[in-house]
Structure 1
Amino acid sequence: MKNNIPYKYICIEGNIGAGKTTLSQMLAEEFSCNLILEQFTENPFLEYFYKDPERYAFTVELSFLTERHKQLQSQLKQNDLFGNINLADYSMVKSLLFAKQNLSPEEFRLFQNIFNLLSHNIPRPDLILYLHRPIERVKKHILDRARQYELNIQNEYLESIQNTYFDFFKTQTLVPVVLLDGENMDFINIPSHFDEIKNILSQEFKPGLHHLRIIF
């Protein structure tokens, strides 16, 4: 398909189980993007975190931060040589938002200092597309994909993650953020739903939060 997307670096964001990776893969195939997928399965502390969050929160968040920084720094620099769109299923700021949710205030202050040191040399996205799904739907997806360490995630935790993203997006003035609210959206099985998302990505958005609601 002809590429009419006016962005060079796009991040797909959303709650746990929102469909970020699937949508990123579909868009990358459609537009021949350089696809950057988070390697969460390589984090050796993730399973321990879900069993004992208080003990392992700082360790798991620091591990995610360093791995995300390493991956983005390497792939964005390498992909710049070819001029294609960079499409990631996460943004660097994800580390900061999950840390804010999971760490104590003292731990978060330390984490934020480390984040600031690492993130200054990672380019800001040209666009963040946030997939907003009802909590019941992301929980169903989590249960359906049956990753053992995720099965005990509570709705309250998912709601807290969602609200942390929303609070952050409200403060954004440097990056366009499109909050896509599609309660009944099924871009995997219904082509017209996927077409709607492609159409959104072809539009130019000014920095700040843009709330779009798709009704099918």
Structure 2
Amino acid sequence: MVAQFPYNYICIEGNIGAGKTTFCNLLREEYNCKLILEEFADNPFLPLFYKEPDRFAFTVELFFMTERHKQLQRSLLNQDLFQEFTVADYAFIKTLLFAQKNLPDDEFRLFQKMFAVLNQSFPKPDIMVYFHRNVDILLENISKRGREYEKDITAAYLTQIQNSYFEYFRNILSFPILIIDLNRINFKENKDHFEHVKYLISKPYQPGVHRISLVV
């Protein structure tokens, strides 16, 4: 039985290597939904940032913010009546969370002001789903996909990003946030895993944070 989602706009979030894009692509294969995938490969400053983060942090974050804003505005404000719902493999708040960790205080204050203006341009998600995996598993996944510019990502950096998300979640009461502890869950190779995650997302949730652990 195909699960039905009580949401029009679903954001799948998570750390680097959590499986966000993989899950969204699988969902699109099964449903007539609009798919929004982050176009991170188009950021020419990303490889430079991973090599010299202090030098290229503001440039890389500014590029990401403007490109994400342009993509979300184009996609969310031009809805297709024949598509059931929209699913994205990122939320715009990701822009601020990464910038907070990557930028010095003075640059972040400026960045925050620009973000606040752009963040008013489109609707907030009906639900945000956060795929949580232990850092050692994230590093395994990053290594497996073999992107050259990601090879210098450290466990410490992933931990900082993870902590930023959880700190943000504590203050959200306006829409539901579903944290799913996945760890060794592999929805690409195991259809049952995919169905289970999909079922959890198809349930209605009240605003605020909800957390579920899946064990294999």
TM-score range, shorter chain: over 0.9
SS in 1 for 2:90: coil
Mapping 1:100-119, distance limit 5 Å: 100-119=100-119
- When residues 166 and 131 of structure 1 are mapped into structure 2, their CA distance, relative to the original with a 3 A threshold, is same
Cα distance in structure 2, aligned partners of 1:184 and 1:147? 21
Q: CA deviation digits over 1:78-110, x for unaligned, max 9?
A: 225445211000000000000011011111111
Q: What is the CA RMSD across the aligned residues, in angstroms?
A: 1.2
Query: CA separation in 2, counterparts of 1:74 and 1:80?
Result: 12
Partners in 1 of 2:179 and 2:107 — Cα distance? 29
User: In the alignment, what sits opposite 1:133?
Assistant: 133
Q: How many residues align?
A: 216
Does residue 160 (structure 1) correspond to residue 153 (structure 2)? The answer is: no
> How far has the Cα of 1:175 moved from its partner?
1.6
Structure 2, unpaired ranges of 5+ = none
Opposite residue 5 of structure 2, the aligned amino acid is I
CA distance in 2, matches of 1:17, 1:209: 22
Write the letter of the residue equivalent to 1:89: D
Specify the code of the residue in structure 2 equivalent to 1:210.
Answer: H
- 1:16 alignment partner in structure 2: 16
TM-score (normalizing by structure 2): 0.96
Are the counterparts in 1 of residues 33 and 83 from structure 2 also a CA contact under 8 Å? no
Cα contact 2:38–2:90 (8 A) shared by 1: yes
CA distance in 2, matches of 1:3, 1:70: 31
Letter in 2 for 1:182: L
Q: Which residue of 2 aligns with 1:143?
A: 143
Indicate the residue corresponding to 1:86 in structure 2.
Answer: 86
Question: Which amino acid in the other structure matches residue 198 of structure 2?
Answer: K
Q: CA deviation at 1:167?
A: 0.7
Structure 2 CA distance for aligned equivalents of residues 57 and 167 of structure 1: 21
Q: Is the 8 A contact 1:3 1:31 kept in 2?
A: no
Unaligned runs of 5+ in 1: none
Q: Which residue of 1 aligns with 2:182?
A: 182
Relative to structure 2, which stretch is displaced further, 23-32 or 105-114? 23-32
CA distance, structure 2, for counterparts of residue 129 and residue 13 of structure 1: 6
Report the counterpart of residue 211 of structure 2 in structure 1: 211
| Per-residue CA distance 1:129-176 (angstroms, 9 max, x = gap) | 110011111101111111111101111000100111111111111121
Structure 1 CA distance for aligned equivalents of residues 82 and 63 of structure 2:
30
Give the deviation of 1:2 after TM superposition: 4.4
Distance between the aligned counterparts of 2:15 and 2:57, measured in 1? 18
